[in-house]
């Protein structure tokens, strides 16, 4: 496992606002990371710090195991954190040629990157004729010209229509399949769920969760129960069960949050052994959305 980026105890204050608080996480090669959080949670600030455009207040980060300077490391990074300025009266290809000159890289990658973002057919059209989605795809192409190890995107689908959103997400996955590590920031839960392998959930600058997306999705779930028996007694029996994390009542439903991934039959057997018969028993996995809301409601 090769570490691309390691962030440790990062803090950023803007006057009294703590935009980033004690943030630590690692980016491992080959994965797609999503920094997920509502607006103002510190996503863009974090990206700005690691790209050396925002000064940190304290803490540290190191690129590629710290073997090279940040300045050199950033030559192996492709990033779009603001809408890049392209020249409206130049074609896509001419705009990319200009960026190659600025970055000091050869034109070799231009055709490949245009293919990657599905703009090869439109390469000789002027930028001003492009739709918003095409402009964003050209921005991604421009970030790929130096053949980066990692591509960093801040809210890559903002402002796009559903078709444009879908296309960008497909392109991000395609780029990752080609071996490029991805770090994106998004306030959209379903974006992270659909695109990313790993997630870092931020709230008010603090990390609430980091790990694989499936692990966040596949928590141990809940079991809903209805019973004709005495509710208080049933709740007590459930609370005494070692597989139970918590017990809540919602109308006539008793909701058991599980400590481990046990089956509804196992819970049924336990209740039966404690002389409780039930009239309804359903196991559910909370959606990522529910878990995100649970996390951010704290």
Binder among 2, 8, 9, 17 for ligand ADP (CB under 6 A):
17
Bridge partners (DSSP) listed for residue 10: 23
With a CB cutoff of 8 Å and minimum separation 6, the contacts of 231 are 249, 254
Query: Does residue 221 interact with ligand ADP by CB under 6 A?
Result: no
The smaller minimum CB distance to ligand ADP, of residues 53 and 249, is found at 53
Which string of x and - marks every residue 127-166 that binds ligand ADP (by CB under 6 A)?
----------------------------------------
Query: Does residue 45 interact with ligand ADP by CB under 6 A?
Result: yes
Contact 276, 254 (CB under 8 A): no
Binder among 3, 13, 30, 40 for ligand ADP (CB under 6 A):
40
Burial level of 30, CB count in 10 A (0-12/13-18/19+)?
middle
Q: What are the angstrom distances between the C-alpha of 200 and each of 20, 23, 26, 216, 252? A: 13, 10, 10, 10, 36
To which residue do tokens 């509502």 refer?
Answer: 38
Query: Does residue 44 interact with ligand ADP by CB under 6 A?
Result: yes
State in angstroms the smallest separation of the CB of 84 from ligand ADP: 18
Which string of x and - marks every residue 35-64 that binds Mg ion (by CB under 5 A)?
--------xx--------------------
Binder among 4, 5, 23, 43 for ligand ADP (CB under 6 A):
43
> Choosing among Mg ion, ligand ADP, none, which partner's interface includes residue 45 (Cβ < 5 to 8 Å by kind)?
ligand ADP
Query: Does residue 41 interact with ligand ADP by CB under 6 A?
Result: yes
Contact 143, 166 (CB under 8 A): no
With a CB cutoff of 8 Å and minimum separation 6, the contacts of 100 are 106, 107, 109, 110, 145
Query: Does residue 42 interact with ligand ADP by CB under 6 A?
Result: yes
The smaller minimum CB distance to ligand ADP, of residues 39 and 275, is found at 39
Query: Does residue 258 interact with ligand ADP by CB under 6 A?
Result: no
Query: Does residue 55 interact with ligand ADP by CB under 6 A?
Result: no
Query: Does residue 37 interact with ligand ADP by CB under 6 A?
Result: yes
> Choosing among Mg ion, ligand ADP, none, which partner's interface includes residue 100 (Cβ < 5 to 8 Å by kind)?
none
CA-wise closest residue to 36 among 173, 208, 199: 199
Q: Which stretch binds ligand ADP (CB under 6 A): 32-40, 72-80, 110-118, 233-241?
A: 32-40
Burial level of 226, CB count in 10 A (0-12/13-18/19+)?
middle
Number of residues that bind Mg ion (CB under 5 A): 2
Q: Which stretch binds ligand ADP (CB under 6 A): 43-51, 104-112, 145-153, 254-262?
A: 43-51
- The token pair at 297 is 């409601």
Query: Does residue 53 interact with ligand ADP by CB under 6 A?
Result: no
Bridge partners (DSSP) listed for residue 246: 257
- The token pair at 142 is 């421009």
To which residue do tokens 């700005």 refer?
Answer: 48
Contact 60, 52 (CB under 8 A): no
Contact 5, 66 (CB under 8 A): no
Contacts to ligand ADP by CB under 6 A: 14, 17, 19, 37, 39-45
Contacts to Mg ion by CB under 5 A: 43-44
């Amino acid at each position: 496992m090769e570490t691309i980026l390691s962030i440790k105890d990062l803090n950023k204050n803007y006057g009294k606002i703590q935009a980033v608080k004690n943030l630590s996480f690692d980016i491992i090669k080959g994965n797609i990371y999503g920094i997920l959080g509502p607006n103002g949670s510190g996503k863009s600030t974090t990206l700005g710090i690691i790209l050396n455009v925002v000064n940190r207040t304290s803490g540290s980060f190191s690129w590629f195991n710290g073997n090279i300077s940040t300045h050199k490391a950033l030559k192996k990074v492709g990033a779009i954190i603001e809408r890049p300025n392209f020249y409206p009266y130049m074609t896509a290809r001419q705009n990319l040629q200009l960026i190659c000159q600025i970055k000091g890289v050869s034109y070799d990658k231009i055709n490949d990157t245009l293919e990657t973002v599905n703009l090869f057919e439109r390469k000789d059209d002027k930028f001003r004729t492009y739709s918003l989605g095409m402009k964003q795809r050209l921005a991604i192409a421009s970030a790929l010209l130096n053949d980066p190890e990692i591509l960093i995107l801040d809210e890559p689908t903002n402002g796009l229509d559903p078709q444009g959103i879908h296309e960008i997400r497909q392109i991000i996955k395609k780029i990752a399949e080609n071996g490029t590590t991805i770090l994106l920031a998004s306030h959209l839960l379903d974006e992270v769920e659909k695109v990313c392998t790993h997630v870092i959930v931020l709230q008010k600058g603090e990390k609430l969760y980091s790990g694989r997306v499936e692990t966040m999705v596949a928590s141990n779930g809940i079991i809903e129960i209805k019973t004709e028996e005495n509710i208080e007694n049933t709740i007590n029996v459930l609370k005494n069960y070692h597989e139970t994390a918590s017990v809540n009542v919602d109308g006539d439903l008793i909701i058991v949050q599980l400590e481990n991934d046990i089956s509804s039959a196992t819970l049924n057997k336990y209740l039966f052994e404690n002389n409780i018969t039930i009239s309804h028993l359903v196991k559910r996995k909370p959606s990522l959305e529910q878990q995100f809301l649970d996390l951010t409601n704290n």
